[in-house]
């Protein structure tokens, strides 16, 4: 199948960018994302809690005036929490659960996500960097440096963000170029051999041209005994902002990121005698337990750390003990033109990545090589006035993925050892609009609509790798999807700092393909997931902005929920399968309380209660592959397809959805010799939750509380600062995701968050 090359994609990007500059002679200023204002230092005027400015609705607005379900982390909050990669957000955002499936990032909000291990999966949470959507979930890790803020939106964002934002969106917004010279250098060290260096410099070259360059290097040893769960990343970003005249701006961004090292790892559950909580998968005791639990003769099982591996993958240079090498190169632009009646914005983007991974996270040798080219274009008009705030536009997304993947489940069972060589092409077209209209001074109506048409094509082969000749099965499928999403709501201002709101919104996650042939009446196509969200809430400030109380109640109705698990295809071959659960119900309440009793003190509590249940979730597997120990749901002989067992998980909670989760924090600022000393204590916690949809006992992770502490001295004039920190002080064991071993019912390989860490950081500003 013919596919466009990265070079052709780059050419079309440059042509589009040049066309925009040539055809738009008089543009408005570039939208520069504002950051949350820092807390006032001790001794300053008693100003209470500060405003937080967001751009999540494609316009600049005060968070307290917005009806969005959103949590915002500014640069200081990200630094205190040590956010260097996506899964670090687990510690600061209740209701968010991030883990790994092989090399892919798995992101869940309120139980809705994607349990994927290859690029064929699709996140239900849309990651965006500087307004550009990232489809490749292996590429979201190394983007958290020189960051102005991260916006975590909860609930479907189908109108403004479109496809694959069923559960929400995470917007990572870099610090933009500014018109003043400055910068900083940060050096950090800690246990597990941590070294992290971040630097940025901002320079106005002329009155109309500014540039900003930023980069980072991270090196850290693995948390697990086999060296996995390390962090080896480096990256750089260069931005140019040009404002040649009033009403025009052009922002160009180029960045490069690389992830290396061993990569994500896993621990075996139930934990075996003689092992610790951070004993990795490659361990003789764990392998002995795996072989003892196998429901086939033990000599047929390929254990972590063993081979063989298919020859085509050996040439990549992957070592036997695990390896990751992901490289991303990205170009994007943002052009703004003030037309008078509205502002025209054009955002072209080209993202390319080469991702290579080999490891044992599923409990057997697993490798994945992916080449991805993503091209997107968004053109929109927007206008804000005292009566109406509106935005409308069109969007095009073109994604080409080539995937070479292998799994060595057994040394001697050919049907279990597979290799995929496939190409997936996705094209998505959309038109959208949303408006907020003031009917009377305190009362506003919200309305939005988006239409999406999507085309997907799968072209490739699935190869079984026995000891004899390969068995090659062609995989060729195509499918189209259409979706209409909407948002409607009301906002009412009780006072200038107190408001009520109610909204209803929808979103969809596109369907896709499983990598087997349609047979026995079972299709290889899974359908789009659709979610409807009903919300009522209030945002309040009291006592001259010294107390904030925001409350949001929500009810989600999830239809055709996409759920994935390691199972078997209709021919009895091992398959990482995605299927549709008919329906699920999700409801709960979010509380956000912040108190500033004095200038030097700030207390906060963010708490979420969540109730989730599958209303209807059943599927069938070949009876020959069924084991009562492998599934914790009701099983019965299928009445529709001979030779199949029906699995009914109706009534079960959704995975990675704790009933209770939250964060609590206290911060005090001391005056010290004209500088400040800031002491902070915080904790994050979650109740029990299932990690996957097999519902076996070991998949139910225990509750936890993690405590963290920071101490920062800031010199007068913020010339430099010195920080000491400790995280997860009680060394809690926190499981985040994983997969049941294919041949050993009851054995689960789980991701795990960081143990106790500590270190220090120095930052010099200039």
Q: What mean pLDDT do residues 248-252 have? A: 97
Could you give the strand order of the β-sheet that contains 147-154, starting from the edge strand earlier in sequence? 70-74, 147-154, 168-174, 125-129, 132-134
pLDDT of residue 44 exceeding 50, the answer is no
For the chain, what percent of residues have pLDDT higher than 70?
A: 89
Residues 6+ apart with CB under 8 A from 84: 144, 145, 196, 218, 231, 233
Is 3.20.20.70 the CATH classification of the domain at 6-617+652-765? no
pLDDT of residue 7: 44
pLDDT of residue 592: 96
Sign for the pseudo-dihedral over CA of 410, 321, 225, 105: negative
Give 252-268 pLDDT, tens digit per residue: 999 999 999 999 999 99
pLDDT of residue 34 exceeding 70, the answer is no
pLDDT band at 529 (very low <50, low <70, confident <90, very high): very high
pLDDT band at 572 (very low <50, low <70, confident <90, very high): low
**Burial (Cβ within 10 Å: 0-12, 13-18, ≥19) of residue 551:** middle
Give 52-92 pLDDT, tens digit per residue: 999 999 988 999 999 999 999 998 899 888 898 888 999 89
pLDDT of residue 165: 94
pLDDT of residue 342 exceeding 70, the answer is yes
**Whole-number Å distance between alpha carbons of 248 and 28:** 4
pLDDT of residue 467: 59
Structure tokens at 323: 């390896």
pLDDT band at 348 (very low <50, low <70, confident <90, very high): very high
DSSP labels for 514-583?
-SS--BTTB-SEEPPEEEEEEEEEEEEEETTTTEEEEEEEEEEEEEEEEEEEEEE-TTS-EEEEEEEEEE
In this structure, of 147-161, 283-297, 668-682, 725-739, the range with the lowest mean pLDDT score is 283-297
pLDDT of residue 43: 37
Q: What mean pLDDT do residues 519-539 have? A: 88
Domain boundaries, the chain: 6-617+652-765
**Whole-number Å distance between alpha carbons of 156 and 441:** 28
pLDDT of residue 10 exceeding 50, the answer is no
pLDDT of residue 155 exceeding 80, the answer is yes
pLDDT of residue 542 exceeding 70, the answer is yes
pLDDT of residue 465: 67
pLDDT of residue 27 exceeding 80, the answer is no
pLDDT of residue 643: 80
pLDDT of residue 535 exceeding 60, the answer is yes
pLDDT of residue 311 exceeding 60, the answer is no
Give 640-653 pLDDT, tens digit per residue: 677 888 899 999 99
pLDDT of residue 417 exceeding 80, the answer is no
User: Other C-beta atoms within 10 Å of 761: how many?
Assistant: 20
pLDDT of residue 313: 37
pLDDT of residue 309 exceeding 60, the answer is no
For residues 93 and 608, the answer to whether their CB atoms sit within 8 Å is no
pLDDT band at 411 (very low <50, low <70, confident <90, very high): low
Beta strands in 638-719 (DSSP E): 644-648, 660-672, 675-686, 689-690, 700-701, 704-714
Give 316-336 pLDDT, tens digit per residue: 333 446 889 999 999 999 999
Q: What mean pLDDT do residues 26-40 have? A: 36
Give the residue with greater pLDDT, 720 vs 641: 720
pLDDT of residue 532 exceeding 90, the answer is yes
In this structure, of 184-188, 501-505, 514-518, the range with the lowest mean pLDDT score is 514-518
Mean pLDDT of the chain: 87
**Whole-number Å distance between alpha carbons of 110 and 533:** 12
**DSSP designation for 410:** B
């Amino acid at each position: 199948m013919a596919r466009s090359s990265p070079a052709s994609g780059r050419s079309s990007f440059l042509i589009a960018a040049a066309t925009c500059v040539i055809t738009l002679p008089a543009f408005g200023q570039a939208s520069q994302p504002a950051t949350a204002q820092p807390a006032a230092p001790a001794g300053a005027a008693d100003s209470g809690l500060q405003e937080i400015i967001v751009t999540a609705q494609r316009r600049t607005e005060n968070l307290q005036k917005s009806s969005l379900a959103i949590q915002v982390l500014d640069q200081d909050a990200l630094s205190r929490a040590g956010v260097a990669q996506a899964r670090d957000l687990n510690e600061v955002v209740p209701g968010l659960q991030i883990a790994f499936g092989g090399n892919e990032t798995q992101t869940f909000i309120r139980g809705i996500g994607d349990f994927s291990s290859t690029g064929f999966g699709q996140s239900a949470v849309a990651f965006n960097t500087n307004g550009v959507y990232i489809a490749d979930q292996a590429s979201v890790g190394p983007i958290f440096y020189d960051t102005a803020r991260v916006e975590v939106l909860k609930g479907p964002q189908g109108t403004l963000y479109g496809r694959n934002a069923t559960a929400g969106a995470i917007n990572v917004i870099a610090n933009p170029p500014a018109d003043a010279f400055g910068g900083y250098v940060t050096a950090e060290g800690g246990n597990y051999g941590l070294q992290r260096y971040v630097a940025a410099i901002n320079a106005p070259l002329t009155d109309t041209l500014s540039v900003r360059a930023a980069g980072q290097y991270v090196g850290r040893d693995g948390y697990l005994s086999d060296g996995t769960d390390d962090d080896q990343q480096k990256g750089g970003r260069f931005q140019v902002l040009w404002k040649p005249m009033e009403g025009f701006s052009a922002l160009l961004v180029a960045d490069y990121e690389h992830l290396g090292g061993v990569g994500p790892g896993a621990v075996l559950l139930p934990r075996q005698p003689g092992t610790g909580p951070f004993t990795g998968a490659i361990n003789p005791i764990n392998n002995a337990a795996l072989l003892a639990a196998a429901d086939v003769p033990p000599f047929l099982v390929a254990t972590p750390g063993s081979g063989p591996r298919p020859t085509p993958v050996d040439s990549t240079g992957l070592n036997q003990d695990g390896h990751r090498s992901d490289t991303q190169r990205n170009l994007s632009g943002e052009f703004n033109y003030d037309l008078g009646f509205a502002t025209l914005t054009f955002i072209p983007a080209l993202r390319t990545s080469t991702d290579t991974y080999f490891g044992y996270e599923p409990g057997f040798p697993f490798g994945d090589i992916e080449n991805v080219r993503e091209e997107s274009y968004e053109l929109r008009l927007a206008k804000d006035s005292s009566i109406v705030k509106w935005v409308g536009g069109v969007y095009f997304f073109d994604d080409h993925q080539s995937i070479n993947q292998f799994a060595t489940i057994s040394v001697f069972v050919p049907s279990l050892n597979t290799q995929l060589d496939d190409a997936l092409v996705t094209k998505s077209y959309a038109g959208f609009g949303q408006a907020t209209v003031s009917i009377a001074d305190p009362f506003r109506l919200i309305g939005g609509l988006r239409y999406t048409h999507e085309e997907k094509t799968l072209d490739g082969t699935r190869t079984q790798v026995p000891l004899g000749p390969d068995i090659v099965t062609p995989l060729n499928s195509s499918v189209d999807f259409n979706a209409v999403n909407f948002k409607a709501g009301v906002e009412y201002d009780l006072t200038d700092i107190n408001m009520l709101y109610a909204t209803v919104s929808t979103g969809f996650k596109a369907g896709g393909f499983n990598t087997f042939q349609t047979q026995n009446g079972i299709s290889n196509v899974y359908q789009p997931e659709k979610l409807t969200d009903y919300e009522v809430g209030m945002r309040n400030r009291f006592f001259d902005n010294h107390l904030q109380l925001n409350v949001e109640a929500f009810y989600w109705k999830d239809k055709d929920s996409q759920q994935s698990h390691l199972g078997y295809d209709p021919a009895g071959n091992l398959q990482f399968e995605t299927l549709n659960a008919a329906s699920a119900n999700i409801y709960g309440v979010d509380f956000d309380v912040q108190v500033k009793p004095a200038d030097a003190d700030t207390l906060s509590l963010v708490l979420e209660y969540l109730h989730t249940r599958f209303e209807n979730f059943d599927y069938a597997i070949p009876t020959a592959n069924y084991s009562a120990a492998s599934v914790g749901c009701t099983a019965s002989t299928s009445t529709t397809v001979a030779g199949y067992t029906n699995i009914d998980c109706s009534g079960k909670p959704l995975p990675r959805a704790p009933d209770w989760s939250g964060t609590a924090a206290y911060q005090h600022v001391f005056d010290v010799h004209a500088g400040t000393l800031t002491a902070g204590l915080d904790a994050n916690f979650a109740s029990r939750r299932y990690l996957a949809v097999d519902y076996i006992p070991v998949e139910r992770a225990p509750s936890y509380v993690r405590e963290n502490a920071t101490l920062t001295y800031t010199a007068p004039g913020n010339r430099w600062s010195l920080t000491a920190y400790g995280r997860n002080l009680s060394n809690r064991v926190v499981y985040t995701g994983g997969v049941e071993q294919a041949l050993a019912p009851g054995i689960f390989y789980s991701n795990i968050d960081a143990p106790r860490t500590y270190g220090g950081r120095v930052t010099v500003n200039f």
